[in-house]
Amino acid sequence: MNSNISKFYEKGWQERLQILAEECKLSEEELDILKSLKPLDFSTANLMIENVVSVFALPLAIATHFKINGRDYLIPMAIEESSVVAAACKAAKIARLAGGFKAEATEQIMIGQIQIFAKGNKKQEIIEKVNTSKKMLLERANACDPVLVSFGGGARDIKIRRFDDFIVLHLLVDVKDAMGANAVNTMCEKLALEIERICDCRIGLRILSNLAVYRIARAQATFPKKVLGEAVDAVIDAWHFANSDQFRACTHNKGIMNGIDAVAIATGNDFRALEAGAHSYACLNGKYKPLTRYWRD
């Protein structure tokens, strides 16, 4: 695939679709779906959420010029805000001059939380019983999702966090390519019953956390000064502003989420979970910070 398409924004609709079909090797059927622009029908929409009266459409665009880890990509983006797609294309075009983006990700570990009410000596007793039973608990969790386990995923570890009136058990689950909510929640429901049995305790919430501190994606790129000129200083000054002031950092991160949410919506993913996780991660160390860093090499 070649994503470095010159002046894609100037081309007509049919020409854009033809370029997309050629670069992505779309079948005639797939191309016809794009051409038809058929909205979600009412009967399907009515099964998805409550009180449906109509459907709501967003523009679906393609961001060009992206090179990631040496490979070209055409990025789908669904968003209502003008200039976001153009900005993404422009940034990708500039980054491409220095080799494009380099990206990496950790394992796909999500956290399931089980709240266990306990005080004083009972708290320590429960912790000891959980640690003693860890192997059994992980086996019971994995028995809930043999399909995930067959793909190399599954429950990996259990960690304990202490609070004044309760304990929180963190179940770490490798969910592979899935978002993981259903798998993790099912495992937590099962383990809650087991813990209640072996520890003789009261269980509170058992649910996935969207603060995915073990599931981190990072990307970096070089933006050559010969292209940006004096704007280099302005970019770094703006980053220092965001790094010092959470009021600026909030808007800084909103700009980042413009692109992330647009891709999430275009690919049918949960952009609210991404927003919650990103903003929570931004203040993980006690102060809300920007999700990016800029510097001169």
> Structural domain boundaries of the chain?
1-103, 109-209, 230-297
Confidence grade of residue 239 (pLDDT, cut at 50, 70, 90): very high
State the pLDDT at residue 200. 94
For residue 163, list its beta bridge partners: none
State the pLDDT at residue 48. 95
Model confidence at 38: pLDDT above 90 = no
Type of residue at 176: K
Mean pLDDT score of the chain: 96
State the pLDDT at residue 240. 98
CATH second-level architecture of 1-103? Alpha-Beta Complex (3.90)
Q: Kind of pairing, strands 217-220 and 154-162?
A: unpaired
* Backbone angle region of 180, left / alpha / beta, with phi > 0 → left and psi within -120 to 50 → alpha: left
DSSP state of 80: S
Asked whether 252 and 294 are in contact (CB, 8 A), the reply is no
Model confidence at 37: pLDDT above 80 = no
State the pLDDT at residue 22. 95
Residue 142 vs residue 32, higher pLDDT: 142
User: For the structural domain made of 109-209, what CATH number should be given?
Assistant: 3.30.70.420
List, for residues 52-65, the tens digit of each pLDDT value: 999 999 999 999 99
- Residues 192-228 as b/e (b if ≥16 CB within 10 A, e otherwise) read bebbeeebebebeebbbbbbbebbeeeeebeeeeeee
* Backbone angle region of 57, left / alpha / beta, with phi > 0 → left and psi within -120 to 50 → alpha: beta
Specify the pTM.
0.91
- In the numeric block, the tokens 């010969």 are attached to 226
State the pLDDT at residue 160. 97
